[in-house]
Structure formats: structure tokens, C-alpha cells
């Protein structure tokens, strides 16, 4: 076993490398003075759907709860953790749920709000106690920009228009006066609006041609109310490699009517047999990472199509659903999509965020699915207990890239190969913050090999370097309510920085973020 020193207190992490697996060297060249493209902070968005225990029990416990500390029903511990994460935007209320949601049932006195059946997720009763005001209150508490998904599948243009007026109109209209009656004097000025969700599937099973016309109808009635409430319209885009969907929308929808196209891609090995979240072998791990690595090709190819119709890159690509998807934990409701979160998920997060950063010219928004207790969650809760997942720690390490300038890098990654699966082992992205700091994020998805890295940063005089690492002894390691800190990021001291050149080692399945200062 090879040991790596990762903190000044001599904390050591076993790296799972056989001494026969020699480290491979990678040289990375970065031109700091050529950093120009901004990494939009909205890439670091999250997703909260009325699904399982994401909202109820995860975010919202009710105003009368005496057991779990809260403010107006919203968990204090979750709010504190999400503030630390710097959540850029939060997408709500779905997902598939969005196209069954009637927003007017979720406002006003809670005792007067009608219930509904959540037909998509578990067939449970939704009492609408968490609605528009509660969601926007959450966003204000954590400092996230709201991203509202409008009901196109079962709603009407009038429903959506009324909702926009309710949250954005300053006063004098029936909807703005209703908002004031319900306790909110000033408008929220919500900018991010999704026009339906997965229109090709649960959002209506539409063709791209049909949805294009529906989109244009809805977009026509999405009114701006002053410069502070300019709406950013996001069309329901493609799933995975459905490139024809992207091209059809761009052919049929005028550029002035759309500001972004969505894209959904999950790292799932099979929709009929997804595999376990924790008890998996290298074969399942490699298959999952192979699916995650496809994000690079999908973003590239969808962007290429967009370049043909929008060469000035005015229209953004929003990957507003991404993450790992496995079988639910034993004993839980299959419709609740509750799964544990291991080092494998940390690898998905590090790899994916590097891809988004490096495509910052076109990718200007993304949403990890989902924020609490569902799919690749950053937080898991159990009654009054809360834990942070490996994915949480990766996203916290990476938030230094928000609104920083992308530094162009040149390097060649070795491959990670297992049986018939081959993919790049190491992904890297780098940026220069407004403060002048340079941050480099590296993810090694290799199951068993350490990779030595030399980074040559040119065009800037940098003199100080520090780093953090997230790794563990086993790829299946994860945090539990009994052992909440098994996996977490710690200072990494096994680096050298001399004359502008940084050298470090990337253990198997590890994430490292290096901060450099003048």
C-alpha cells in the first residue's frame, strides 16, 4: 500500500495502489494571461423537486415541528449547509412534477390549500404546504437565484402568465395584489424560467416540431416588468444524444424568443437495471464513469449544432439535470429515488464540473439532481440528523470557479481502461478569480493508478500554493448518520511549487483543488 501525506497533522490516506502500478506523469500547461471566458456561476446550480423526501423532511419540516430546528418550517441545518455551498440557482418544482403542478394551489393560508396526488413520484398526497412563497423564501435564505419550471404539459398559457405576474409585477394588477394580500409586498423579480420540462417525455410526449410551436406560444406571453425583471427563457431541450431535437428547436424558434436550451444526461448504466448505490465492483464503477464521461461528447456535439444557428453564442446550454442514478436503497419507496452517495459520485461530480467549466462559452447553467435525499444529493437527512455527501464536498471545493475567468489548458490525459471501457483518467479545469487567485481543479477517476502531474502556469507570477483533497480507502466509501465524516475534503500537503511549476500526485479516485496566489 502506498501512503500519501495529506495534512500537516500527518493524516494519512491509503491509496489502494499496488506497488506494481507505477505512477504516470502528466504535464499541463496553462496560460493565465489568456483567461477571458467567464465561468458562469449558474453552472453550480441545484434541483429541488417535489419527489420523495427532497422537500418534505429534507428542506421543509413544517412550522409546527418541535423536534427539528427550523425557521418558518425550513430546516436551519440545511440552510446553513447550502449557504456554505454557494448554490448559484435552484430549480423548482420539477422535473416531471412541474407539469402537473398548479401553482395557485400553493399560495395563501396553508389550511385553505387543496391537496393533490403526486402521480409521478410514489402516489403520495401533496398538501401544497410548500409553495411559491416558501420556495422563494428558501432561495433568499441560501442566496440562490430561483429557477422556476412552468407547467406546459397540463397547464395553460394563462396559468404561466399569471404566475410570472404574481412574482414579478410591482403592483396594481390582480396577481400582484394577490401576492401582497398573501404577505409579500415587493416582487421577487424572478429571471430564470423553464418553459416546461422534458417535453419529449413526461412533459407531454411531444415531437420537437410540436413543442417548438407550443414554446413560441408560451414565450409570447412571458412579460418583462421593468429592467429588474427581464425574463431568461429556457426551452425544454434534448435528452442525451438527441441532436435532432436541438436542431429542430433552433430551426423553428427565433433566437430573440429563446435564451437557453436545456440538456439532460444521467450517468445510468441501464434504465432497467441501474445497479446498487454502494455495493458495486470495478465493473459497475467503470460502466458508470463511462456514462458520465459521455457528457463531454454530448456538450460538444450539441454546442456544434448551436454554433451553426447561433455563431455568436447568444443562446446558452443549460444542463439542468445531471448526476448518478442507481437502484433505490433497500426498504425505501421506489418512487422516492433515495440513494446513498459514495466516492463514485464524487468522481462524477468532479469530472462533470470540469467539463462544464471547460465549455463555459456555451454551457452557462447546470443543475445537479437533486439537492436533498434524491438521486445524487449533496445532503441526506433522517429526522433531526443531517449528513453531507462526498458530492457536497466536491461542489464546495469547486465553487471557487464561480464567475472566474477560464484559463486555457493544454495536456494529454492517460486512459482509464477496464475490459471494453476506455475513458480519460484525468480531467482538469482552471480559472482566475477577480481577486487574482488562480484555482486548478483535478479529478482522477482511475480505479487503481496514481498519476503524477506537473502544471506549468504561464503569463502570471504566482508564489504561494495550497491544496485540498477528497479521497478515501475504497471507492464505495460514503458517509452515514453513524459515521458522518468518513469522506470529507482535507488539506493536501504533498505538493511542490517552484518557479511557477506545480507538482503533485493524484491518488486513485481523488479530487484535488489547488489555490495559487501572487
* Residue 99, phi then psi, degrees to nearest 5: -85, 10
Q: Which residue has the cell 395557485?
A: 104
Alpha carbons 28 and 454: distance in angstroms, whole number: 6
Q: 41-403 has which CATH code?
A: 3.20.20.80
Question: Can you give the pLDDT of all 518 residues of the chain as single tens digits?
Answer: 333 333 333 233 333 333 334 556 899 999 999 999 999 999 999 999 999 999 999 999 999 999 999 999 999 999 999 999 999 999 999 999 999 999 999 999 999 999 999 999 999 999 999 999 999 999 999 999 999 999 999 999 999 999 999 999 999 999 999 999 999 999 999 999 999 999 999 999 999 999 999 999 999 999 999 888 899 999 999 999 999 999 999 999 998 999 999 999 999 999 999 999 999 999 999 999 999 999 999 999 999 999 999 999 999 999 999 999 999 999 999 999 999 999 999 999 999 999 999 999 999 999 999 999 999 999 999 999 999 999 999 999 999 999 999 999 999 999 999 999 999 999 999 999 999 999 999 999 999 999 999 999 999 889 899 999 999 999 999 999 999 999 999 999 999 998 888 999 999 999 999 999 98
Catalytic residue chosen out of the listed positions 134, 198, 291, 296: 198
For 367-408, the three-class secondary structure string (H helix, E strand, C coil) is: EEECCECCCCCCEEEECCEEEECHHHHHHHHHHHHCCCEECC
Alpha carbons 133 and 135: distance in angstroms, whole number: 6
Q: In Å, what is the CA distance from 372 to each residue of 81, 145, 276?
A: 11, 17, 19
The β-bridge partners of 318 are 262, 365
Helices (H), 58-122: 76-85
Instruction: Return the H-helix or E-strand segment holding 483.
Output: none
Q: In Å, what is the CA distance from 152 to each residue of 105, 256, 398?
A: 16, 20, 34
Q: Tell how strand 316-324 and strand 363-369 pair up.
A: parallel
The β-bridge partners of 234 are 194, 260
The reply to whether CATH 3.40.50.300 applies to domain 3-37+407-517 is no
Instruction: Say whether 321 is catalytic.
Output: yes
Helices (H), 423-463: none
The β-bridge partners of 75 are 70
Q: Which residue has the cell 433531526?
A: 384
Q: Do domains 3-37+407-517 and 41-403 have the same CATH topology?
A: no
* Residue 136, phi then psi, degrees to nearest 5: -70, -30
pTM: 0.93
The β-bridge partners of 91 are 47, 147
Domain limits, the chain: 3-37+407-517, 41-403
Q: In Å, what is the CA distance from 103 to each residue of 122, 166, 206, 216, 467?
A: 20, 10, 23, 22, 45
Amino acid at each position: 500500500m502506498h501512503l500519501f501525506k495529506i495534512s500537516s497533522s500527518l493524516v494519512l490516506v491509503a491509496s489502494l495502489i499496488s506497488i506494481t502500478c507505477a505512477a504516470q506523469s502528466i504535464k499541463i500547461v496553462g496560460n493565465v494571461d489568456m483567461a477571458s471566458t467567464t465561468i458562469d456561476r449558474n453552472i453550480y446550480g441545484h434541483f429541488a423537486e417535489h419527489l420523495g423526501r427532497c422537500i418534505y423532511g429534507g428542506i421543509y419540516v413544517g412550522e409546527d415541528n418541535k423536534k427539528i430546528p427550523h425557521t418558518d418550517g425550513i430546516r436551519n441545518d440545511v440552510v446553513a449547509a447550502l449557504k456554505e455551498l454557494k448554490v448559484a440557482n435552484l430549480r423548482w418544482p420539477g422535473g416531471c412534477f412541474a407539469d402537473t403542478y398548479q401553482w395557485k394551489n400553493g399560495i395563501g393560508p396553508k389550511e385553505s390549500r387543496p391537496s393533490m396526488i403526486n402521480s409521478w413520484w410514489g402516489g403520495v398526497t401533496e398538501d401544497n404546504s410548500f409553495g411559491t412563497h416558501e420556495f422563494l423564501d428558501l432561495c433568499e435564505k441560501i442566496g440562490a437565484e430561483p429557477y422556476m419550471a412552468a407547467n406546459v404539459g397540463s397547464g395553460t398559457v394563462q396559468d404561466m402568465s399569471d404566475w410570472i405576474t404574481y412574482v414579478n409585477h410591482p403592483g396594481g394588477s390582480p396577481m400582484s395584489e394577490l401576492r401582497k394580500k398573501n404577505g409579500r409586498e415587493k416582487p421577487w423579480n424572478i429571471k430564470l424560467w423553464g418553459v416546461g420540462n422534458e417535453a419529449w417525455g413526461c412533459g407531454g410526449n411531444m415531437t420537437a416540431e410540436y413543442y417548438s410551436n407550443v414554446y413560441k406560444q408560451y414565450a409570447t406571453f412571458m412579460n418583462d416588468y421593468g429592467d429588474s425583471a427581464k425574463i431568461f427563457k429556457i426551452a425544454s431541450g434534448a435528452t442525451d444524444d438527441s441532436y435532432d431535437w436541438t436542431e429542430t428547436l433552433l430551426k423553428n424558434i427565433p433566437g430573440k424568443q429563446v435564451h437557453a436550451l436545456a440538456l439532460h444526461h444521467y450517468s445510468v448504466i441501464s434504465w432497467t437495471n441501474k445497479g446498487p448505490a454502494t455495493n458495486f465492483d470495478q465493473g459497475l464503477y467503470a460502466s458508470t464513469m463511462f456514462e458520465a464521461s459521455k457528457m463531454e461528447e454530448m456538450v460538444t456535439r450539441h454546442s456544434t449544432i448551436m454554433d451553426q444557428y447561433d455563431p455568436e453564442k447568444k443562446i446558452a446550454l443549460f444542463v439542468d439535470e445531471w448526476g448518478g442514478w442507481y437502484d433505490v436503497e433497500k426498504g425505501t419507496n421506489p418512487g422516492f429515488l433515495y440513494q446513498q452517495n459514495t466516492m463514485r459520485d464524487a468522481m462524477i461530480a468532479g469530472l462533470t464540473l470540469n467539463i462544464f467549466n471547460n465549455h463555459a462559452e456555451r454551457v452557462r447553467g447546470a443543475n445537479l439532481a437533486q439537492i436533498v435525499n434524491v438521486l445524487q444529493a449533496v445532503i441526506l437527512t433522517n429526522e433531526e440528523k443531517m449528513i453531507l455527501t462526498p458530492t457536497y464536498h466536491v461542489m464546495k471545493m469547486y465553487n471557487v470557479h464561480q464567475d472566474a475567468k477560464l484559463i486555457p489548458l493544454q495536456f494529454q490525459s492517460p486512459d482509464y481502461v477496464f475490459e471494453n471501457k476506455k475513458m480519460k483518467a484525468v480531467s482538469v479545469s482552471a480559472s482566475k478569480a477577480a481577486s487574482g487567485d488562480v484555482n486548478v481543479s483535478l479529478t482522477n477517476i482511475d480505479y487503481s493508478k496514481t498519476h503524477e502531474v506537473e502544471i506549468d502556469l504561464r503569463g502570471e507570477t504566482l508564489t504561494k500554493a495550497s491544496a485540498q483533497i477528497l479521497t478515501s480507502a475504497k471507492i464505495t466509501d460514503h458517509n452515514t448518520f453513524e459515521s458522518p465524516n468518513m469522506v470529507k475534503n482535507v488539506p493536501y500537503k504533498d505538493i511542490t511549487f517552484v518557479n511557477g511549476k506545480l507538482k503533485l500526485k493524484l491518488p486513485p479516485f481523488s479530487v484535488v483543488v489547488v489555490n495559487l496566489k501572487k
